[in-house]
Structure 1
Amino acid sequence: MRIAMIGTGYVGLVSGVCFSDFGHQVVCVDKDQRKLERLRAGEVPIFEPGLDTLMARNIADGRLSFTDDLAAAVDGAEAVFIAVGTPTRRGDGHADLSYVYAAAEEIAAALTRPTVVVTKSTVPVGTNREVLRRIRAVRPDLVIDVASNPEFLREGAAIDDFMRPDRVVIGAETERARKVMAEIYRPLSLRDFPMVQTDLESAEMTKYAANAFLATKISFINEIAALCERVGADVKAVARGMGLDKRIGDKFLHAGPGYGGSCFPKDTMALARIGQDHSVPQRITETVIAVNDHTKRRMIDKLIDLCDGSFNGKRIAVLGVTFKPNTDDMREAPALTIVPALIGGGAEVRVTDPQGQREGEHLLPGVRWMANAYDAADGADLLVILTEWNEFRALDLGRLARSMNRAALADLRNIYDRQMAERSGFVAYDSVGREA
């Protein structure tokens, strides 16, 4: 099938590349000329393991191309996907739909034949019907169908999530839309991956409900972690005991400095506002947001305690600033709350991250970037593990302790334990959800 993908951000690029690997002809559209030049050269502008190889192969095979000419891209396309950003709108927490509606109207003006317009961006309930209304207002002469196809991609594992999904959710209410979407995802349905066919509103709500529930598990275990510290329990043991219950599961029960990224903060905020707008407050989601904010601030208190009450004049090494490993994404990362607090308190902050420097140089002014953990820790008064990259999981703790001015470790991802740290020469150690 011929597919046009409007937007080459994280969702649009991964989806476009993977659709082309299914055998479809995919044209990805973007207005950023510098990004287009990089994409055409086979250079991936984001860090996503395996995406560069997959993209290069499909460009070489002629199934994948990039353009700024939206009209040419949608001409003859059987499906046009909208995959533009829906950031949190300033001031009120709503999802900003201006890019979605602008794309829909531009698509409508360029269409020359009946087409299915598919929203892949995360959008509030009712957005797809508004997209259809706007398209029909521009092109009352064409029969246009709409579909909702929310994404469920984990950064760092997006290709595997796309190719081997837990489910594909498709909101479609016309026979033609259902047939087109079935043909697009035929390679997955042949392999018996679940296809959830539903109405537009249910598809839209599924995305928000799923992300809010996962965020709830994170905030829940972080709140339990705070209590574990007070009562002498070990949150890792508690989480394991919980997670072995099949009704609960062990995913997203890892205590840490709070969630971040492009989805959970934005989507929980949007769901809370949707509930308020419809006079059905989402009290659990609202609390999840508050707990996550508090968790980040609680980490700062831990670091102050390890610095004897003040950051002033201290040298602090931070390992990892992206919101999770295997990504270069720093959106809403705990580092964006914690690191400025260190600098604001008068600390000299040294940072290392395998992929975070490109974004971090703009987002974390005032830090010094180091090549590795050992360089960052040299002469430091405190070492903070903030992101659980694999290369931070087997560090030579003894080497680190010997190189530091004062060997104190804040293990905010619970990679190590107190006994191991003390045997290695650390004189102070703290983690999350384990007795201080």
Structure 2
Amino acid sequence: MTNITCIGAGYVGGPTMAAIAQHCPEHTVTVVDLNPDRIDRWNSDDLPIYEPGLLEVVQAARGHNLFFSTDIPKAIAEADILFVSVNTPTKTFGEGAGRAADLQFWEKTARDILQHARRPEVVVVEKSTLPVRTAEAMARILQQGPSETRFEVVSNPEFLAEGTAMVDLANPDRVLIGRTETASGRKAAETVADLYAHWVPRERILLTNVWSSELSKLIANAMLAQRVSSINSISALCERTEADISEISRAIGADSRIGPKFLEASIGFGGSCFRKDILHLAYLCEHYGLPEVAAYWESVVRINEWQTERFFRKILATQFNTLTGKRIA
């Protein structure tokens, strides 16, 4: 039996641990969070997030091999595998404000792990979306203290979409695990891979170096957002000509090299991930001396903002330049 702890009971940590508990009944899974109200809801049938199928999985495993708690030190002390799934918002001030990831919660978690870990060996799994080379920084924190625990950090980014998270977890396109190229790093990655192999075919479990894994998450979201901005830019051209953007989307989506997904013209991409991750990516490019690459990815965000503004300008124009007393649905 392995004790698995996840620090962070949010949108990623909760469903992911529920899936692991469901498919790995021989292991004990504990999800911890500083927010007692959130934990209370995970321990009820009024979960803090809604995903189709999530409640049923939680109900089946909770109290058997799935537990939710606010006792973070105890959960860390008992853990053989520690998933870190804390919030990494965009910085609001200081160097990189508005673009770089704010790692204060991540750093606090790393120091909590260093302080409270008690097992001889602990695998720490990055689950949060983090800038490339963050695992290196976490390993540096974990190795600098007096702890007798031997830590190994691996990257395991999530690829969940809102509304289909449980389907994405049950039947993922791939599970990505990044590790250091050492014997202990490879062993840690195999430990995590063995968890997913309970239900994911081995050929879908991809082992990479840790830096490739961290960067792949940002790139995946950037590429999807790029498709949205690309088709929206063409929709503007269609409005100036006699072309139909729906017909164009269908025509180019029929090309097997392109495919139909994320090719529907719209008001633009929203949500909490695409814009944040692209700006993180652009900031990284600038940090590593690639301003041209940064400008390219920032243009994806600019097109998205322009499309939204263009949409609302068209609404305003059809409403005699005023929305006073009007309801837009």
**Fold similarity call, TM over 0.5:** yes
Q: Equivalents in 2 of 1:215, 1:289: separation in Å?
A: 8
In the superposition, the TM-score normalised over structure 2's length comes to 0.92
User: Displacement of 1:55 after TM fit?
Assistant: 1.1
Moved over 6 A (4+): none
Q: Equivalents in 1 of 2:175, 2:277: separation in Å?
A: 19
Q: Deviations over 1:320-365 (max 9, x none)?
A: xxxxxxxxxxxxxxxxxxxxxxxxxxxxxxxxxxxxxxxxxxxxxx
The AA in structure 2 aligned to 1:308 is F
Q: Equivalents in 1 of 2:39, 2:78: separation in Å?
A: 22
Match of 1:285 among 290, 297, 303: 297
The answer on whether the counterparts of 1:145 and 1:176 sit within 8 Å (CA) in structure 2 is no
Q: Percent identity?
A: 35
* Secondary structure at the counterpart of residue 317 of structure 1: coil
Residue range with higher mean Cα deviation, 148-157 or 258-267? 258-267
Counterpart of 1:316?
A: 327
Q: Deviations over 1:70-121 (max 9, x none)?
A: 1211233221000001111114210111111111110111111210001000
Q: Equivalents in 1 of 2:322, 2:272: separation in Å?
A: 32
Change (3 A) 1:139 1:81: farther
Bigger relative contact order, structure 1 or 2 (CA pairs below 8 A, ≥6 apart) = 2
The answer on whether the counterparts of 1:122 and 1:150 sit within 8 Å (CA) in structure 2 is yes
Mind listing any 5+ residue stretches in structure 2 that lack a counterpart? none
Q: State whether structure 2 residue 84 is matched by structure 1 residue 82.
A: yes
Match of 1:246 among 256, 259, 269: 256
Q: Equivalents in 1 of 2:314, 2:278: separation in Å?
A: 26
Q: Which has the larger radius of gyration?
A: 1
User: Displacement of 1:39 after TM fit?
Assistant: 1.2
Q: State whether structure 2 residue 45 is matched by structure 1 residue 45.
A: no
Counterpart of 2:199?
A: 188
1:91-102 correspondence runs (5 A): 91=93, 92=97, 93-102=99-108
Q: Equivalents in 2 of 1:128, 1:137: separation in Å?
A: 14
Match of 1:177 among 188, 195, 202: 188
Q: Equivalents in 1 of 2:75, 2:50: separation in Å?
A: 26
Q: Equivalents in 2 of 1:193, 1:235: separation in Å?
A: 38
The AA in structure 1 aligned to 2:101 is A
Counterpart of 2:39?
A: 36
Mind listing any 5+ residue stretches in structure 1 that lack a counterpart? 319-436
* Secondary structure at the counterpart of residue 118 of structure 1: strand
User: Displacement of 1:140 after TM fit?
Assistant: 4.8
Q: Deviations over 1:52-83 (max 9, x none)?
A: 111111115x1111111112112332210000
Q: Deviations over 1:245-295 (max 9, x none)?
A: 111111101111111112101101100100011111323211101001111
Match of 1:73 among 72, 75, 84: 75
Number of equivalent positions: 315
Q: Equivalents in 2 of 1:213, 1:280: separation in Å?
A: 18
